[in-house]
Amino acid sequence: MCRVVSLFHRLLCFVALLVMVPYACLASVTFRTLFDQPIVIVSADFHVKDGEHMSALEGKGRSSAPRITWTNAEVLDTVWPPSVDIMGLDGLPSGYKGYTSDFSVFYKLRILNRDTPVSYDVSYVVCNESCIPKRESGDLVLNAALTDEEIADIKWNQSDTPSQDLNLLTMIILGLLGGVILNCMPCVFPVILMKIFALVKISNEQKQSVRVHGLSSMLGMISVFVSLGATLTALRPAVSGLGWGFHMQNPLVVYAMLIIFLVCSLHFWGLLKLNIRGLPRIKIPAQSGYVVSFLGGAIGALASSACVGPLSGVAVAGALLSSSAMRSLAIFTAIGVGASAPFLGIAIFPRIISKLPRPGKWVSTLEEFMGFAMLLSCVWPIWILLSQISQARFVLIIMCCIGATMFAWLLKKLGRKKNFAYVTLTGICVSIIAGGYYASSPQRTHTEIQWVDYSDKVLDDAKIWKAAIFLDFTASWCLNCQFNETVFDDEDIILEFQKRNIKAVKCDWTNRDERITKLIREYGAAAVPLYVYYPGDGKDFIVLPSMLTKQTILDAFAKGDAR
């Protein structure tokens, strides 16, 4: 018993250290912010002539109210003056709210970098007999300083802008309840079920051991929520547009989650159990299971960190809107505690596990079923990757995942032979690394080749104007086409298309299209892939090889120049 408690104390120290790292980073950033990021109050003054009016943030005309976008500054608060009713031609209220005389809007700004000017971009609409949109931009300069009395008269948080310092107790309660609800979300439920299943397998252990496993999983979940919350709170002043789930915007992170789910599925099916003949057996201490429980809870937290369910969305918004970093972390911690509620219940009432049927054959059947549940969870990161990377790279990633699965199957069949085991393990690692390469770079950006769909008019216009044009005959069911598509992600190829002003035309043959079928025959082909390049200036077309490489495209461009 003492040994178990001692191990638990060491685990607590490890978690405390892990959690304190982001807190220390946050404290450093907060300290730097206090001295390097001054807070200023700015008055945006609008001049309204007689007979004119400008809309307010309420009423029918609120969409045309003045709007200011700041660069190198974070808006902490905004105060608008009271608006008045805009009268119609009949002398009655028109339903529009606005301003008929000069007015000022006050902004409380935190300057992010004192060495860089603060820029503004303001758009507004001035109405008289007609409405005229206007826009101004420039750098913030000190025209006149507001007196202390004027600043004191500004009633912050009394405008239409919601208060940023929301009730902390309310947000904590919403965070707790929202975290509990997260356990039922489709992206999280299989992971939670997997952890509870792992606890079922240790139901024969002592009550204290079950309690420590539950606490380890709980601490794993809380530490991830706190770490993500601290990172987000620390980075938001310096990185604009940063929000909850920001890490899921990186395809490499999404791919890593896909691999974790796939590995869990293969583990449940028994495809990753190593039993290599000739290698010494490594005895793993039973206490290491607590670390596994901690990592399992962390994986569950990562899966749920991308979800915003009922109530938790309000809590996350309250944390991000709060001007206090510690209040934000308190809310994120509450969400983590709520999300780890199942493990907290097991830690408090470890006898719950003993009420379940004793481990037996039914556990093996349930284990295989869990393999399918985790495989179903893979659909989620796959769906995200579809919208983050090109179709060609997505196909290659799926092939790498299938390759890793195949090598895992071979490992089970041939793993007793040392040489085959090394080959299959190498195959698994290479497949996973290759998938990570395709997920990491390049991503879809605004500098990619801009393809247009084929039409007879597009091709005819290009020929009439003697413009350079590149025809890509492809289909979703054509595997060679998907391999070739990766070439168009190459930076040199993109630059060549832009430099030569080549119109890129996608001739999609996925579904039956008689126009494209006829065109394919005109170029002497009968199937896809097919690539045709018109150099422009009335020069004859060039048919590229069906297996496309960067060099074949560059050679075709050079050949077209030589004609």
Listed in order, the ranges of the chain carrying CATH 3.40.30.10 are 451-562
pLDDT: which is higher, 385 or 89: 385
State in Å, rounded, how far the first CA of the chain is from the last one.
Answer: 86
- pLDDT tens digits along 117-169: 888 888 888 888 777 888 888 888 766 666 656 666 676 654 443 444 456 78
For the residues 1-11, what does the mean pLDDT come to?
A: 47
Is residue 12's pLDDT more than 50?
A: no
Looking at residue 60, its pLDDT comes to 73
Q: Identity (one letter) of the amino acid at 293? A: S
Q: What is the DSSP letter of 310?
A: T
* Residues pairing with 533 in the sheet: 470, 542
Burial status of residue 144 (CB atoms within 10 A of its CB: 0-12, 13-18, 19 or more)? exposed
CATH of domain 451-562: 3.40.30.10
**pLDDT tens across 312-324, in order?**
767 777 777 666 7
Closest CA to 183 of 294, 309, 291, 293: 309
Of the candidate ranges 7-11, 353-357, 465-469, the one whose mean pLDDT is the lowest:
7-11
Q: Read off φ and ψ for residue 51, nearest 5 degrees.
A: 85, -10
The answer on pLDDT for 289 being more than 50 is yes
pLDDT at 1: 44
Question: Which residues lie below 8 Å from residue 492, measured CB to CB, with a gap of 6+?
Answer: 550, 554
pLDDT for res 359: 62
Confidence of residue 84 (pLDDT cuts 50, 70, 90): confident
Count of Cβ atoms closer than 10 Å to residue 142 Cβ: 7
The token pair that represents 198 in the structure block: 């792992």
Nearest by Cα to 327 from 38, 109, 30: 30
Give the relative orientation of helices 550-562 and 491-499 as an angle to the nearest 10 degrees: 20
Reference 236, options 246, 226, 227; nearest CA is 246
Tokens of 563: 């004609």
> What are the tens digits of pLDDT across the range 519-562?
998 888 888 899 999 998 888 899 999 889 999 999 999 998 88
Measured CA to CA, the distance from residue 413 to residue 459 in angstroms comes to 55
Distances, alpha carbon 2 to alpha carbons 8, 209, 214, 217, in Å: 10, 11, 18, 20
Mean pLDDT of all residues in 36-50: 80
SS3 string, 516-539, reads HHHHHHHCCCCCCCEEEEECCCCC
Pairing of strands 73-79, 530-534: unpaired
Once rounded to an integer, what is the mean pLDDT over residues 191-199?
66
The most confident of 30-34, 151-155, 284-288, by mean pLDDT:
151-155
Q: What does the pLDDT look like over 376-407, one tens digit per residue?
A: 888 888 888 887 887 778 888 999 999 999 98
Pairing of strands 84-87, 93-99: antiparallel
Q: What is the mean pLDDT of residues 485-502?
A: 87
Cβ-proximal residues to 394 (8 Å cutoff; 6+ apart), any chain: 385, 386
Supply the DSSP symbol for 53. B
Exposure of 152 by Cβ count < 10 A (0-12 exposed, 13-18 middle, 19+ buried)?
A: exposed
Contact status, residue 367 vs residue 197, Cβ threshold 8 Å: yes
pLDDT for position 282? 44
Q: Is the pLDDT of residue 309 over 70?
A: no
Residue-level pLDDT at 156:
61
Indicate if the alpha-carbon torsion angle 281, 282, 288, 292 is positive or negative: negative
What does pTM read for this prediction?
0.55
Range(s) of the chain covered by CATH 2.60.40.1250: 35-153
327 in Cβ contact with 164 (< 8 Å): no
pLDDT at 440: 82
245 token code pair: 């789930």
Spatial distance between the Cα atoms of 24 and 280, rounded to a whole number of angstroms: 43
Packing angle, helices 207-235 and 341-348, rounded to 10: 150
Residue 33, pLDDT above cutoff 50: no
* CA–CA dist 507, 530 (Å, integer): 9
Contact 462, 278 (CB under 8 A): no
| Residue 17, H or E segment | helix 2-36
The CATH number of 35-153 is which of 1.10.1380.10, 3.40.50.300, 2.60.40.1250, 3.40.190.10? 2.60.40.1250
pLDDT at 499 over 80: yes
CA distance 306 to 381: 11
Q: What is the pLDDT of residue 17?
A: 47
DSSP-assigned beta bridge partners for residue 71: 119
Express as a percent the part of the chain with pLDDT over 70.
74
How high does pLDDT run on average in the chain?
A: 77
Of 274, 282, 278, residue with least CA distance to 419: 278
Residue 559 to residue 493: CA distance in whole angstroms: 15
Displacement of CA 45 from its chain's centroid (Å): 38
For residue 446, what are the CA distances in angstroms to 281, 442, 471, 489, 491? 53, 12, 21, 12, 12
Question: What are 94-111's pLDDT values in tens digits?
Answer: 778 888 888 888 888 878
**Residues 458 and 428 sit within 8 Å (Cβ to Cβ):** no
The percent of residues in the chain predicted with pLDDT above 90, rounded, is 10
Tokens encoding 235: 């980075």
- The single-letter code of the amino acid at 7 is L
Which one has a higher pLDDT value, 216 or 241? 216
Q: How far apart are CA 366 and CA 369, in angstroms?
A: 5
